[in-house]
Structure 1
């Protein structure tokens, strides 16, 4: 009689366990200080690596995930070109409105490491 109860419970646990991707991420709060700090580092690296003379800024975080097994963050963000040039010391840079100069992209920031979260950028 007891095995009749144990079998469905064990089957459910195995289904949940095997249904998860071991390398997959868990959704994270985009406003989490660790996510925001990792995003700041990622955007600094993106702007430094970009051949564009203008800086880019994050307009919106589409998705934030943390890979529990490796303490890595994965962010999908919308970034836009600002009026500030590289090397400027401005704290706030407005986005270009002129369609000839404006540029908006969706970028996947993969494997960010900032304290608890490793950093590599992949444009999409």
Structure 2
């Protein structure tokens, strides 16, 4: 067998391997709706709200009120696409008190948002990355 024949066989083998890999990725099926329970979402929601509070200019901390919608997609990790309702708490950002913060009850300080976010995570490595986030004031 000459070098040309070996090269052709290697190209054919590479094409077969690539086809098998692409077929495997296509079977993942994109985003799948998940239960609205917070099971398996707690660490992702915690990462989201910590990130939100860190970049927010608000004096008070916000907390996740309710998980409204949740989708998951397997890639090289796990992607979560979710919609949550978050609300302002009575705890100030610089407070060193316990993190069990009741929701704001004073009418002029009450504030809620509906937020959509996309988080990429590799849970077995405790790695999270916020890829997209948008919030609108809730009415």
Q: TM-score, normalized by length of structure 2? A: 0.64
Of structures 1 and 2, the one scoring higher in RCO (CA 8 A, sep 6+) is: 1
User: Runs (4+) of structure 1 moved beyond 6 Å?
Assistant: none
Q: 1:100 aligns with which of 103, 108, 112?
A: 108
CA apart distance, 1:87: 2.6
Q: 2:79 aligns with which of 64, 69, 72?
A: 72
- 1:36 alignment partner in structure 2: 42
Return closer, same or farther for 1:111/1:23 CA change in 2, 3 Å cut-off: farther
CA apart distance, 1:107: 0.4
| Corresponding pairs, count | 103
Return closer, same or farther for 1:23/1:101 CA change in 2, 3 Å cut-off: farther
Task: Tell me the distance in 1 between the aligned counterparts of 2:75 and 2:66.
Answer: 26
Contact 2:44-2:119 at 8 Å conserved across structures: no
Return closer, same or farther for 1:114/1:82 CA change in 2, 3 Å cut-off: farther
Larger-Rg structure: 2
Matched, 1:27 2:33: yes
Gaps of 5+ in 1: 1-21
Q: TM-score, normalized by length of structure 1? A: 0.71
Return closer, same or farther for 1:93/1:121 CA change in 2, 3 Å cut-off: farther
Task: Tell me the distance in 2 between the aligned counterparts of 1:49 and 1:98.
Answer: 24
Task: Tell me the distance in 2 between the aligned counterparts of 1:42 and 1:75.
Answer: 10
Q: Say what the alpha-carbon RMSD is for the aligned residues.
A: 2.3
